[in-house]
Structure 1
């Protein structure tokens, strides 16, 4: 349970906000990082910590594209294919990525390493084709750069992924004002 494992961090986070409910997105990220996705039980757990109705958490999970209600791969590759990005080659880029990964969009590779998703507007239209991977942007992509990204991510996964986790990023500023 989140409250048991992250009691000190959650208390520090809640103390940072004038109203507990203001910490909702942070706790949703924490739950997703801990469980791999936001299951019904995880959403109820976040609701319980914040004294909110679970349907509020469900509505936020449905609204924000960074929350997943189904299990995902270790690396979620979200490719923007909104109109502006499509005009810069995003649709062809999505097709190439799906071919390279061996799965269609909205699917996870059999090894559980990558989930390929299409999303609407990540706010970098002028640098398309682009993708977001676990909150990090990669812009002006082509096949060569995509191959290099996949190789880098596979190497990081094999090494245990030394990058800061979402939990570390969420709590890195707790206590700072």
Structure 2
């Protein structure tokens, strides 16, 4: 596997745990985002880049957006984003991809906590799964599942299925909010 540099948000426990699991593999280098707050350029040339962060109400944390705008990496390689939770993680994913796209970086691998939990993938399995996808440069497992699931459906059935998926996602978000409130009290 090629060299892989991961920038992670070291303020969140979920990001730290995930980075520790990635760090156990060879050719994977994990870097704290806070170490690069005051630097004008962040170099990660000759490697694929990964970002691990938690969504902040649909927005990117400041450290992540700083890395995105200051990073110098290979533009002909595919990079990765892993969102470990937070509210409105899909909106944050869209923001990160569009910011990186503006800079000329291509994101081939995008993962969210919701998708991992929905497919019953444990955090240990997720790291292996992500690294294998990055190595082959074809994140086809998820795409194949989706294609098989929706293939042959009429438009009406597809619309109903997508509405049901959206409803499940909203219920998941409400459940996560309740869990967070219980932890705080």
Q: Same fold (TM over 0.5)?
A: no
Which structure has the higher relative contact order (CA within 8 Å, separation 6+)?
1
